[in-house]
Structure 1
Amino acid sequence: MAYHAGIENSKYLVLMEAGLGDDHSVWFNNNIADFCAEKYETVIYDRAGYGKSTLAETNRSIPVLSDDLGKVIEKYSKGRKVILIGHSLGGLIIRDYAIKNPQKVAGMLFVDPSHEKYNEPTKEQVKQIVEVFSKNFGANHGATQEAAFLQNDFEYMFTLGPLPNVPVVVLTSMKEDAGNKEADQANHKTRQDWYDAHETLKTGITDFTHVKTLKAGHYIMIEDPEFFKDNFKVLTGKIHQ
């Protein structure tokens, strides 16, 4: 189920990809989607098994989620290039899509994206995550189904090449809050490891901007919306040069 708003037939289409466990409504916080829609036709949507979307009968691995993303883009792009925004697991999805469809991408904004050089869940950790989502949302919810593939997904991401050479902006949370400390502990990593993993996204990119924040935790766009908005403007300014 997709929702779109903004200036119809704007030069570029904006597509916002949420993280694991979040439906399209995460982008309504602090008018984030509305801000993007002020100048661009903007699409947010529920992946299969979230919100009003039915659960697909296929597996919910990154290649499948990327293919689903492609179908949404195809429906709304009308041949336009897309500006991709991805938060957390959504960062993996837009990476996979962009690498496979470089000619369709105008630019990318990563919001504290998951990354295989940091995220290394064990089978036991994946099992625990699945159990939590199953308890909270149900066994057939999209988040539960996606979580089951996390270990395979991060292994898969290592097989991908670099991003297409388009403007890329990456936002990284370096805040030492409870959520980030828990993530660092679970992955036996540090905030610097998180930053360094994100930095590797610059491979092959001529116009790469990497900005860190100590003010916001993992949900950067919610905790510091102005930081998100400012960097969205940075990205679109580069695209329109």
Structure 2
Amino acid sequence: MTKEMLIQISNCKLYAKLVGENKGKPTIVMDAGYGDDSKGWDSVISDVSMLSNVLIYDRAGLGKSESSSNSRTSRAIIKELKELLTEAKVEPPYILVGHSFGGVNLRLYTTEYPNEVCGLILLDSTPEDYRERFLPTMPKEFQQAYNKQFVSECNYDEFMESLKQLKQSKRNVDVPLIVLSAGEKAHYSEESQTLWNEMQKEISKISQKSEFIIAENSGHYIQNDEPKVVTSAIKTLINKI
């Protein structure tokens, strides 16, 4: 089954696609990285949809979705996602899968709407203390390029506000969690790569039922570099629920 939808929420229409054969398992909801639309999941969607129904969507202003007048912080984004799921009649509980900035959004979704989430998978998700702890360890050119990239979705201040919202939210989650860390990041020194993996491992501590996996041969887009690692993590999580 593949169902494409343009769903009216309070102030815009959001594009979503529901794929899969429902096997009585929770629906898997996937949120892509900064500036990425639902195509960011093309490399894994067919395999993941064999496990359960999967909903992928374009955040407001990306892909086939209209722009929203709301701010582009994580808190505003997850409210829109909640509206989308309600209007599309996709019933909870959900298994949430977030990449990079999508991981920030879905961690916040899990703490804001705990009764709707039964599992969480984070793919190289942005740590809440990224700016303070990680960015200063990188070369100046990297830092400048990082700061200039915020043009396709939320701006730099909104992104940092999202990390602050995550920090201020109740951090621990009471669901099974799998954290995947990219072990082969481009432009990272050995020291930076080690720190990155440490920070990813710290994220796994927000749940007492967590697993931490380093995708040794992956850059930031683990779903493209090692799609089987992602599918396998989702399968593992489904079996725990």
- TM-score normalised per structure 2: 0.81
Distance 1:171 1:77 in 2: 30
Distance 2:228 2:169 in 1: 32
Q: How does 1:38-49 map to 2 (within 5 A)?
A: 38-49=50-61
Distance 2:89 2:208 in 1: 25
Task: Report the AA paired with residue 4 of structure 1.
Answer: L
Task: Report the AA paired with residue 115 of structure 1.
Answer: P
Q: Is 1:206 aligned to 2:222, yes or no? A: no
What displacement does 1:59 show? 0.9
Distance 2:22 2:60 in 1: 25
Equivalent of 2:178, from 161, 169, 183?
Answer: 169
What's the CA shift string for 1:8-52, capped at 9, x where partnerless? Answer: 4733111000010110001012xx111111131110000000011
Give 3-state SS (helix, strand or coil) of 2:62's partner.
Answer: coil
Distance 2:100 2:206 in 1: 22
Contact 1:87 1:112 in 2 (8 A): yes
What's the Cα RMSD here? Answer: 2.5
> Among the aligned pairs, what percent are the same residue?
24
Structure 1: runs of 5 or more not aligned: 135-142
Q: Which has more helix, going by share of residues?
A: 1
Equivalent of 2:117, from 105, 111, 126?
Answer: 105
Q: Is 1:231 aligned to 2:233, yes or no? A: yes
Q: In the alignment, which residue of structure 2 is the partner of 1:138?
A: none
Give 3-state SS (helix, strand or coil) of 1:149's partner.
Answer: helix
Q: In the alignment, which residue of structure 2 is the partner of 1:139?
A: none
What displacement does 1:233 show? 1.4
Distance 1:21 1:126 in 2: 18
- TM-score normalised per structure 1: 0.81
Contact 1:10 1:39 in 2 (8 A): no
Q: 1:57 to 1:78 in 2, by over 3 A?
A: closer
What's the CA shift string for 1:120-178, capped at 9, x where partnerless? Answer: 469xx9996575454xxxxxxxx333544122222222212223211100000121533
Task: Report the AA paired with residue 236 of structure 2.
Answer: V
Give 3-state SS (helix, strand or coil) of 2:130's partner.
Answer: coil
Structure 2: runs of 5 or more not aligned: 1-14, 137-141
Equivalent of 2:85, from 73, 87, 91?
Answer: 73
Give 3-state SS (helix, strand or coil) of 1:144's partner.
Answer: coil
Equivalent of 1:53, from 33, 52, 65?
Answer: 65
Equivalent of 2:33, from 9, 19, 44?
Answer: 19
